[in-house]
Amino acid sequence: MSPDGALIIRNAEPQDAGVYGCLASNQAGTHTQTSTLTYIESPVVTVALSEILIGLGETTIMACSASGIPKPEIWWYKGEQPVGRSPRVEVDALGGTMTMTDTQAADAGEYTCVAGNSAGTSSGRITLDVGGELETESFWRCEITTPHRRSDALSHSAKEPADVSADIGSNLTLVCRVQGYPEPLVTWRRGDGSSLLHRAPSPSTVTQSRGELHIISEWSSSDVLSHTHMSSLYLWVEDEAVYVCEAHNHFGTTQAQAKVTVTGLAPPVVALSPGVLGVVEEHQVTLPCVLLAGNPLPERQWLHNYGLVGTLRGREGGREDERKDGTEGGWH
C-alpha cells in the first residue's frame, strides 16, 4: 500500500484479476468500496506460412493465429484494401483463417492479417504467388545466315513447333519460349538420344542457354556475333535431327520438338591424319578417317598401296587395322 492508502500491484498477472474491496473503519463505524480488476493482454500474431505458392484455380487457405486477452478478432487486408466475404472468399474472424476458392492470377499479392482487442493490435504479412501449368508460347525462332552474307531472319510463333530446313554451312538458332510461373527451367535434347554436348569430331560444338540452342562453329564470324548477339551456328550433316525442348517447374512439365533438315551440297573434307605411323609386329594400329564436312554424307574408301581395301557408307569413322606382316586386320 502507498502512504495515501492506495493498493499497488506490480507485474500484474492473470491470477491478480478479481474483486478488490477497500475497508475503512473507526469507533464510529465502517465503510467499504469495491473494484473489479480485469486482466487484459495485447495481441501477438503468428503467421503459419509467410509465403504461399498456389496453382491457378486451386483453393488458397491463409492462416494467422493470435494470442491475447480478451481473445482478439482478426481482419484481413490486401495491400491497403480490406478483404471481406464474397462468393469466393470466406473469412473466419475468430479462427484467423481466410479461404479463397478458384484462385486467380489477380489474387496474387501481399496480404496482412490484423488482430485487435481492447489492449491493442498486432499484424502479420503473407505473400501469395499464383502459378499455373506451363504453356509453350512461342516454340522456335529460326535465323539462317551464311558465313559470307546475312540473310533475312525467319521467325515463327505458334502453339506447335515447325520443322526447318537449312543449307549445310548455314547459321541457325532454335529458341524455346515457355510461359509459366515460377520461371520454368528449359533444356534441350536430341530426339535420337545422341548427346548434345559430347559428340564425335565435327566442325561444330553445341551449347544451350536460357532456352536457346547454339551449335557453335569453330570459325564463327565475329560479325555475326556482334550483329545477332548470339553464337554463329555452322550446320553440319551430324546436326540433322529432331530437337526436343523440355521445360518444367513446380506445377509440371511440357515439351515440344522441331526437326532440323540439312540441305545443300558440300564437298568432302577429311580431318588431318598422321603422315607416318610405326607399328610393332603382331600389334594393332588404327588409322582414323574422320569427316569434317560433306553433304550428302560422303562414301569413304581405304586404299592400300593404291589398291582398294574397303568401303564405308555411314556416319562412323572407318579405320584400317594393319599388322606388321602387311596383311589387313579388318574394319572396326
* 294 within some domain: yes
Distance set, CA 209 to CA 65, 144, 305 (Å): 45, 19, 49
User: What is the C-alpha to C-alpha distance for residues 47 and 127, in angstroms, rounded to an integer?
Assistant: 11
* 158 within some domain: yes
Identify the sign of the CA torsion 166, 167, 168, 171. negative
Element (H, E) at 224: helix 222-228
* 150 within some domain: yes
Which of 83-87, 140-144, 309-313 has the weakest average pLDDT?
140-144
The pLDDT tens digits of the residues spanning 266-289 come to 778 888 777 787 888 888 888 888
In the chain, the number of structural domains is 3
* 27 within some domain: no
As a whole-number percent, the residues of the chain with pLDDT over 90 amount to 22
Same domain, 224 and 170: yes
Q: Which residues contact 141 (CB under 8 A, 6 or more apart)?
A: 153, 155, 156, 173, 174, 175
CA-nearest of 46, 85, 52 to 182 is 52
Same domain, 109 and 141: no
* Adjacency order of strands within the sheet including 51-55: 51-55, 120-131, 109-117, 73-78, 81-83
Question: Pick from 76, 100, 131: which residue ends a domain?
Answer: 131
- Chain position carrying cell 526447318: 164
* 4 within some domain: no
User: What is the C-alpha to C-alpha distance for residues 157 and 173, in angstroms, rounded to an integer?
Assistant: 14
- Chain position carrying cell 479462427: 95
Which of 62-66, 212-216, 282-286, 323-327 has the weakest average pLDDT?
323-327
The answer to whether 332 and 319 have CB atoms below 8 angstroms apart is yes
* 111 within some domain: yes
Q: pTM score > 0.75 for this model? A: no
Per-residue confidence (pLDDT) for residue 205, from 0 to 100: 42
Same domain, 146 and 253: yes
Same domain, 119 and 168: no
Domain extent for 93? 41-131
